[in-house]
Chains A and B, each alone.
Chain A
Amino acid sequence: NAGVMQNPRHLVRRRGQEARLRCSPMKGHSHVYWYRQLPEEGLKFMVYLQKENIIDESGMPKERFSAEFPKEGPSILRIQQVVRGDSAAYFCASSPPSAIRETQYFGPGTRLLVL
């Protein structure tokens, strides 16, 4: 059973460009979470999605950031008009649809560098 997949693993963008990060959850998992890890810091929650629904986006910056988890295909975290402060590691995690879904399994992360 493949784990959580994220791509690309490394992404370099210039200021003002768009960054698109992809996350494929573990097989059978229908809950996806995105976290951001700034250098030398812990992970900070961004958004929690189920298929076609945003459940909790309390950690998402109000502007330039958006996330989706369509019925088919991976979850996408999109950052428009990137700035240097967006440079970070972005982790995706998934959990199963059962009533007990507290355990989240993490992907390897995408390292975004904004020049």
Chain B
Amino acid sequence: AQTVTQSQPEMSVQEAETVTLSCTYDTSENNYYLFWYKQPPSRQMILVIRQEAYKQQNATENRFSVNFQKAAKSFSLKISDSQLGDTAMYFCAFMRAAGGTSYGKLTFGQGTILTVHP
């Protein structure tokens, strides 16, 4: 079974600064997908960024980028130029690639509460 661990229950950052959220996972699979989802106070789950394990290049989406270290099973999220609207709970998630019996099932970490201060 896959597990996802987020070791930082809470993080804070000043507006306009950079912050990195950590995520590690455990799997015996070689092909899989990793995601970061954001859950603001409204509790809506919003996809932030996605990474395919077979791609060596780290994914980026505007101010959001990841540092994917496959051998270390690490998948951290870097938020640059933090904005007040980035305040939210951030979840790291894992999904097996197609062909497995649990394909389609997202396994989430416990979440990291990020607060951006003005």
Contacts and interface: CB of A to CB of B under 8 A. Distances in A.
Interface of A: 31, 33, 35, 41-45, 48, 55-56, 58-59, 89, 91, 93, 95, 99, 101-106, 108-109, 111
Q: Is the interface of A mostly helix, strand, loop or mixed?
A: strand
B44 A56 contact: no
Interface string B77-97: 000000000000001000101
A99 B102 contact: no
What is the interface residue range for chain B against chain A?
20 to 34
Contacts of A103: 35, 47, 50
A89 B108 CA distance: 15
Given A56-B101, A56-B104, A102-B50, 18 more contacts: A33-B106, A35-B106, A35-B108, A41-B110, A41-B111, A43-B106, A43-B108, A48-B104, A56-B105, A59-B105, A93-B45, A102-B33, A103-B35, A103-B47, A103-B50, A104-B47, A106-B37, A106-B46
Contacts of A45: 105-107
Contacts of A91: 45
B89 to A, nearest CB: 9
19 contacts: A33-B106, A35-B106, A41-B110, A42-B109, A42-B110, A43-B106, A45-B105, A48-B104, A56-B101, A56-B102, A99-B98, A102-B33, A102-B95, A104-B47, A104-B106, A105-B47, A108-B43, A109-B43, A111-B43
A39 to B, nearest CB: 11
A99 B99 CA distance: 11
